[in-house]
Chain A
């Protein structure tokens, strides 16, 4: 293996150093957070409501502006206007569903692909592929505000993956998705992961995290409280389930 290849391998997919974010009225959402998501990992970010998960994720994709700290994706700065080019390799499915209601589903995906630099034809092919993958082909001509809640969630995922990102960030992707599709979704994400894509996921379903994630980090009050492999963490805290670790670490 060449030195370059080794360096590339050891560069984390996401590296956060001392990230601090304060909202008005003295809300400290991120309090000097440090986090490293290894390249190629399946990583779970777990923690209670208001812990700062979404704030961190939105900082990575340029929707929040941290007051201090560094964020790099595969070694490239992701903050400020200089961070925009880095976002080509990031896919993001937000927790809040927000879809353009002026365009049809297929068109919405094509536009997304082109915003992220794909050629028109490539974007069209990928959109068709993603619609198929997420069982939305028969909704290709519908407007997004005419989809059911679960379909909208699927469309968000299709959009996040469309431009073939190397780091995929999913903020509670399975909220409101039915059981069958949830399984389909996970098997698809697993295949992506097996192909080398890094997955960063938040979820409140700890069984899901336990089963899927190679590594998890518990976040509370804007800091990482503990991190490691689910097995190790269970052992370290003498807990039979990840849920028990969670309750010990970040429970109220």
Chain B
């Protein structure tokens, strides 16, 4: 029995449409707010290239046989990816929860996995745009190769998914705005800065060198560096492997929260 001539499509079709709509909504938010979501991070990364790479690069000529301004580009790209994927989803989820409009998709027939994928898409899109933008703008100031484009692309996408998931987790657990800023400024930014964006860990003395191996962002930076320069501190198998494992764990955690309705149902 259907009401007033409505066509009843299969549940699968219905849910696929729901997911497409939610993905579109998250993408729309990123694109509409591009002055806040895309531009600042690209400018910040470019300033790092100019200040550290070109101005200070006269003092530090080379690291591991690579011109300094080249050396820092991949790390800056990855720093943008992890911080902005996180920030996007922590903000979007928390806003939707605190304003209450998340109830519309939550009361829809979509399953937890559709909601999860739909919300992740915003952070992933934003960080991919930032990665591409940073690479493009840095190119104006620095000549750099992209030796292993597939490794670079895979690293960006995998890290983007993992850190969007982390942002979603924080967005679902938060009870106030300060918690997202705290996580970003006190956890993610420091881990990114200490993850070898600006220096080679081979230059570090103990215990700093060993401690860096406990920093998950180090592996993502190293994998991106391998993608750009064709060489890095650790093997690409290790760096891409750890990055993938970390993202998989974050994604699984995120899925459990959607499944249990944490932050969505009371």
User: A87: which of B4, B24, B28, B107 is its contact (CB, 8 Å)?
Assistant: B107
User: Do residues B14 and A159 form an inter-chain contact, with CB atoms below 8 A?
Assistant: no
CA distance A113 to B17 in the complex (A): 9
- Smallest CB separation, A94 vs chain B (Å): 7
Question: Which B residues touch A101, using CB under 8 A?
Answer: 99, 101
**Beyond A92-B107, A114-B20, is A165–B3 a contact (Cβ under 8 Å)?**
yes
Q: How many residues of B contact A (CB 8 A)?
A: 41
- Report if B109 contacts A (CB, 8 A): yes
Chain-A contact segment, one of B5-13, B124-132, B198-206: B5-13
CA distance A110 to B109 in the complex (A): 16
Where chain A touches its partner, the secondary structure class is: loop
**Beyond A65-B265, A102-B29, A197-B3, is A115–B100 a contact (Cβ under 8 Å)?**
no
- Report if B18 contacts A (CB, 8 A): yes
CA distance A213 to B249 in the complex (A): 52
CA distance A112 to B110 in the complex (A): 12
CA distance A128 to B235 in the complex (A): 57
Chain-B contact segment, one of A56-64, A227-235, A239-247: A56-64
User: Do residues B20 and A65 form an inter-chain contact, with CB atoms below 8 A?
Assistant: no
Question: Which B residues touch A92, using CB under 8 A?
Answer: 107
Q: Which residue of A lies closest to B14 (CB)?
A: A117
Question: Which A residues touch B101, using CB under 8 A?
Answer: 98-101
User: Do residues B106 and A63 form an inter-chain contact, with CB atoms below 8 A?
Assistant: yes
- Smallest CB separation, B180 vs chain A (Å): 17
User: Do residues A195 and B3 form an inter-chain contact, with CB atoms below 8 A?
Assistant: yes
Interface residues as binary, B99-120 with A (CB distance below 8 Å gives 1, 0 otherwise): 1110111111111100000000
**Beyond A103-B25, A115-B21, A117-B13, is A81–B111 a contact (Cβ under 8 Å)?**
yes
- Smallest CB separation, A133 vs chain B (Å): 13
Question: Which B residues touch A62, using CB under 8 A?
Answer: 106-107, 265
- Report if A119 contacts B (CB, 8 A): yes
User: A115: which of B29, B104, B265 is its contact (CB, 8 Å)?
Assistant: B104
- Smallest CB separation, B122 vs chain A (Å): 11
- Report if B15 contacts A (CB, 8 A): yes
User: B110: which of A61, A84, A94, A197 is its contact (CB, 8 Å)?
Assistant: A84
Question: Which A residues touch B104, using CB under 8 A?
Answer: 100, 111-112, 115, 159
User: Do residues A114 and B18 form an inter-chain contact, with CB atoms below 8 A?
Assistant: yes
- Report if A85 contacts B (CB, 8 A): yes
CA distance A15 to B111 in the complex (A): 23
Question: Which A residues touch B15, using CB under 8 A?
Answer: 117
26 pairs across A/B with beta carbons < 8 Å? A8-B1, A23-B266, A62-B265, A63-B103, A63-B264, A81-B112, A85-B109, A87-B107, A94-B103, A96-B100, A98-B99, A98-B100, A98-B101, A100-B96, A100-B104, A101-B99, A101-B101, A102-B28, A110-B21, A111-B104, A112-B104, A115-B22, A116-B18, A117-B109, A122-B7, A164-B6
